[in-house]
A = this chain, B = another copy of it.
Amino acid sequence: MSSPIGDTSRPARLAEPGEGFGADELALATRNHGLPLEALRYDVTPPGLHYVLTHYDIPYVNGDAPWALAIDGAVQRQLSLGMDDLRAFPAVTARVTMECAGNGRARLDPRPVSQPWLVEAVGTADWTGVPLRLLLAEAGVDDSAVDVVFTGADHGVERGVEQDYQRALPLGVAAGDAPEVLVAYAMNGAALPPQHGYPLRLVVPGWYGMAHVKWLRDITVTGTPFTGFQQTTAYRLRQRPEEDGEPVERIAPRALMIPPGFPDFMSRERVIRPGQVTLEGRAWSGRAPVVSVEVTTDDGRTWHEADLGEETAHRWAWRAWRFAWTAKPGTHVLSARATDAEGSTQPLSQPWNRGGFANNMVQRIAVHSLDGEQADE
């Protein structure tokens, strides 16, 4: 492509061996943000601590102007629904753990150059909205329908392709009830914040974040599979650029630990005092319920079963876990790994692909256990 836009919108690439993070990766990291891991303490992530990834700009939506959601394509009745129309449908609230498909990308070798997440692109919220299946039933889906395409109001360029952000779900998922997909207008009991899709977003429990289309303005039922950029170019698991690749869909199991003790400002390494330390965190999987979390305090030589928190009615939310540890003086490397009811567990070495997607390699936390010493000058 010889378009001038190609000068600023370049192909995807891998970092060279030893290449530091670039100004482009940093520009994404300063805009988007992860969950500070100490916020794993909260069942529901407080506003502003939930991870955020925006492909383009956050659209400016004036709250006084009407917003209409179109439902069209292979349907019997085209609909245009205002916010009051949507609120007239039955409302459902679901507690959902959402994770970016690129979480962990920055730890891969070679590193795909994109939003450079370490492990923190996650959060849990109570989302309230209308089940999508009710809206599709209202519109009357044609027998010919294959996919349901969701279009957001965010507009940009990516690898030379100018686009509104668009993703599709197979009709069976969109109209299903396990998970029940929501068109959500509230987060934690309040209107959506701008960065989480005000006034409307899709919520697809169990799926990675790219499926949860924000600033949702159009739902189009199609009779052929959707082949848009975010469906067939981005968000595919590929070893080589020319492969079609597998689609990125449900969240792989992961456990994260609240880093114990206190941090060094710059290295983010941890300091604790020797003795009893409770290690705790959260675990989740979008594929099947988490059935086990194991903990190592010796960098993977031995693993111990952690106590899982009580099972709750929140199938799509993370589960608490804890493990009592007696820390001896010295340096320790801590990890936790989750296993779900389908038997999937987290790998110790990287599950590599060119996009850096669906990577659930275990977290490693270096902890220095210092004998009673107060460090100062």
Question: Which of A's residues lie within 8 Å of B, judged by CB?
Answer: 1, 3-10, 12, 19-34, 36, 38-39, 41, 46-50, 52, 54-58, 60, 106, 113-114, 116-118, 120, 155-163, 193-196, 259, 262-269, 271, 366, 368, 370, 373-377
Contact B31 A266 (CB under 8 A): no
Please give, as numbers and ranges, the residues of chain B lying within 8 Å of A8 by CB-CB distance.
264, 267, 269, 271, 366, 368
Contact yes or no, B266 A48, CB < 8 A: no
State how many angstroms separate the Cβ of A135 from the closest Cβ of chain B: 27
Identify 27 residue pairs between A and B in the complex whose beta-carbon atoms are under 8 Å apart, listed by A's number.
A3-B370, A4-B368, A5-B370, A7-B368, A8-B271, A9-B266, A9-B267, A20-B22, A23-B106, A23-B118, A24-B267, A26-B26, A26-B106, A29-B29, A30-B33, A30-B120, A36-B57, A36-B58, A49-B58, A49-B194, A57-B262, A114-B266, A157-B263, A157-B264, A161-B376, A162-B271, A163-B376
Instruction: Return the chain B residue nearest A163 by Cβ.
Output: B376
- Complexed CA–CA distance, A49 and B269 (Å): 27
Q: Which of A31, A33, A161, A163 has the most C-beta atoms of chain B within 10 angstroms of its own C-beta?
A: A31
Contact A3/B368 with A26-B29, A36-B57, A267-B24 known, Cβ cut-off 8 Å = no
Question: Given A20-B20, A57-B263, A193-B46, A375–B116 Cβ distance below 8 Å?
Answer: no
Option from B34, B157, B196 in Cβ contact (under 8 Å) with A265 = B157
Q: Could you tell me the distance in whole angstroms from the C-beta of A156 to the nearest C-beta in chain B?
A: 5
Docked Cα-Cα span, A22 to B26, in Å, equals 10
Residues in B neighbouring A60, C-beta threshold 8 A:
38, 41
Chain B residues whose C-beta falls within 8 Å of the C-beta of A41 in the assembled complex = 60
Copies in the complex: 2
A59 CB, min distance to chain B CBs, angstroms? 8
Quick one: which of B12, B39, B57, B163 contacts A38, CB cutoff 8 A? Answer: B57
Q: Which 4 A-B residue pairs are closest in the complex by CB-CB distance?
A: A20-B20, A33-B33, A48-B48, A5-B375
* B contact residues around A117 at 8 Å (CB): 30
**In the complex the two chains form, is B10's CB within 8 Å of A267's CB?**
yes
Given contact pairs A1-B377, A49-B194, A36 touches B31 in the complex (Cβ within 8 A): yes
Residues of B near A31 (CB, < 8 A) are: 33-34, 36, 120
- B29:A262 contact, CB within 8 angstroms: no
CA gap between A208 and B1 in the complex, in Å: 47
The residues of B that contact A374 with a CB separation of less than 8 Å are 162
A25 pairs with B21, CB closer than 8 A:
yes
Q: How far is the CA of A266 from the CA of B15 in the complex (A)?
A: 14
- The minimal Cβ–Cβ distance linking A372 to chain B, given in whole angstroms, is 12
**Chain B contacts for A32, CB-based, 8 A:** 33
A157-B375 CB under 8 A given contacts A10-B267, A31-B120, A271-B5 = yes
Indicate whether A375 sits within 8 Å of B9 (C-beta atoms), given known contacts A41-B60, A54-B36, A116-B26. Answer: yes
| Known contacts A39-B58, A156-B262, then 5 further A-B pairs from the complex at CB < 8 Å, ordered by chain A residue | A3-B375, A31-B34, A46-B193, A57-B262, A114-B266
**Given the interface contacts A60-B38, A265-B55, A268-B27, does A375 sit within 8 Å of B33 by beta carbon?**
no
A149–B269 CA distance with the chains assembled, in angstroms: 28
| Interface contact A5-B368, CB-CB below 8 Å | yes
Q: How many angstroms from the CA of A26 to the CA of B27 in the assembled complex?
A: 11
Contacts of A375 in B (CB 8 A): 3, 5-6, 9, 157, 160-162
With a cutoff of 8 Å between Cβ atoms, the chain B residues found around residue A12 in the complex are: 266
A158 closest partner in B (C-beta): B265
Q: Once the chains bind, are A268 and B24 in contact (CB under 8 Å)?
A: yes
| Complex Cα–Cα for A48 and B33 (A) | 10
B262 with A155: CB separation less than 8 A: yes
